[in-house]
Amino acid sequence: MQTAVSTKYLRIPENTSMTPLFKKNRKLILSYAPDWLLTIALGAVFFSLDKVEGYRREFSLADTSLRHTYAVHERVPNVALYLICFAAPFLLMPVINLLTIRSWWDFHNSSLGLVLGLALAGSITQFTKITVGRPRPDLIDRCQPLNGSVDPTYGLSTDAVCTRTDLLNDGFRSFPSGHSSMSFAGLGFLAFYLAGKVHLFDERGYTGKAWLSLTPFAGAALVAISRTMDYRHHWQDVLVGSLLGTVMSYFAYRQYYPELSSLVSHLPYSPRLRYHGDNEGVLPLHHHRSPSGSEEITGQNGNGRPGQNLVRRYTDEPIDYELEQTARRPDPGPLEDIWSEGQRNDGIRDPSQHTPGVVETDFSRT
C-alpha cells in the first residue's frame, strides 16, 4: 500500500561524506555569476540616472494641484527607504530560513531574487521618470516664479519663469513614485517569500497565514501613502508605482521559487546547472519501481493536486543539478521542440515527436 508523505518543511539529512558545497560546487556558484552581475548593473543604472536631467513638461501657474507646499523634511527619506525596502527583507528572510528549512541555497535564491526585483523596479522607475517629466504637486513652490508671472494667453508656462533652479530637476519626476515602487518591490518579495514558506494557498484557510503574509504589503502601503502626505506625488503616481513594484517582486520571486499554490512552495528551485550523473535528488516523496521500469512517485505533486502518480523521466541526456531541499525546475524541453510545429496549443508535446529512450511524465488519477 502506497502512502503519501507530508511535504511540510521537509528536511533531508545532509550528506556528511561530502565536502562543503561552497567548495565542491564551484561551478554551481559561478553559474549564477551572470545573474548577480546583471542585478548589480541594473542597480548601478538606478543610481546613475538619479542626477540625469530629464524631460520637463509645460505646466499652468494656475493649476492648484501643483501649488502645494514643498516639504523640507520627508516622512520617509531616502535612507529610511533603503532600510525598509532592502535591509529589512535581507535580514528577515535568513531568519525565516533558519526557522523553516535551513538551506543555504534558499538564502542564495532569496537574496538574488530580492536584489533582482529591486533593480528591475528601480531602473524602470528611473527611466520612466526622466522621460515622462510630470510635475510634482509642489512644483510651484519649488519654482518660485517671477513676480507677476502668468500663463501665456495661448499656451502654458515653462521652467523659464522659475527663479529657483536647484530643486527643479527633481520637481519634474513625479510619475511614477519611486518610493512606492521600491517599497513594494522589496517588501512585496518578502510577502511572497513568507506566503510560500507558510503555504498560504494550501486550501485550509488559516487566517493567521494571510495576516502574516500581507503584513509586508501593509508596510509598503504606508510608505506609498506618505508620498501623498508630503505632496511629493499625485495619487496616480503612487498607484502605478505600487503596481510596478508588486509585479517586479512577483516576477523576481517566480524566477527562483515555485508558484505559491505548489505543495513545495517552501522550497527554492533546484540549480539550473546541468551535469552528467545519476537520477538522485528527486523531491522527497515516496516512490517505487513500476512494472514498466520507470519510477513511480506517489504523493502530492508540486501542482497541489493530491492523489496523483508522477512517473519520472529517464534519459541519457544531462539532467538538472539538484540540491537537497529544493524543488525541481520544470523542464519545458529544448527550444527547437517548443517552437516546432509538433507543439500543440495545450503545451503538450505531440506523441509523433516523442524522443526515443525518454519516458514522458504521466499524470493519472489513482
Q: Find cell 494550501 and name the residue.
A: 202
First-to-last C-alpha distance (Å) of the chain: 12
Catalytic residue list contains 108:
no
Nearest to 327 by CA among 249, 256, 253: 256
DSSP string computed for 52-65: S------B-TT-GG
C-alpha span between 65 and 22 (Å, rounded): 56
Instruction: Please tell me which residue in 68, 73, 108, 179 is annotated as part of the active site.
Output: 179
Catalytic residue list contains 233:
yes
272 contacts 257 by C-beta, under 8 angstroms: no
User: What is the arrangement of strands in the sheet containing 308-311, beginning at the earlier edge strand?
Assistant: 286-289, 295-299, 308-311, 364-365
CA angle (248, 252, 255) in 5-degree steps: 145
331 contacts 296 by C-beta, under 8 angstroms: no
Dig out the grid coordinates for 328 from the structure: 525541481
Question: Which residues in the chain belong to E strands, given as ranges?
Answer: 274-275, 286-289, 295-299, 308-311, 319-320, 364-365
Instruction: Please tell me which residue in 68, 108, 199, 233 is annotated as part of the active site.
Output: 233
CA 45 to chain centre: 18
301 contacts 360 by C-beta, under 8 angstroms: no
C-alpha span between 263 and 6 (Å, rounded): 9
Catalytic residue numbers, as ranges: 179, 233
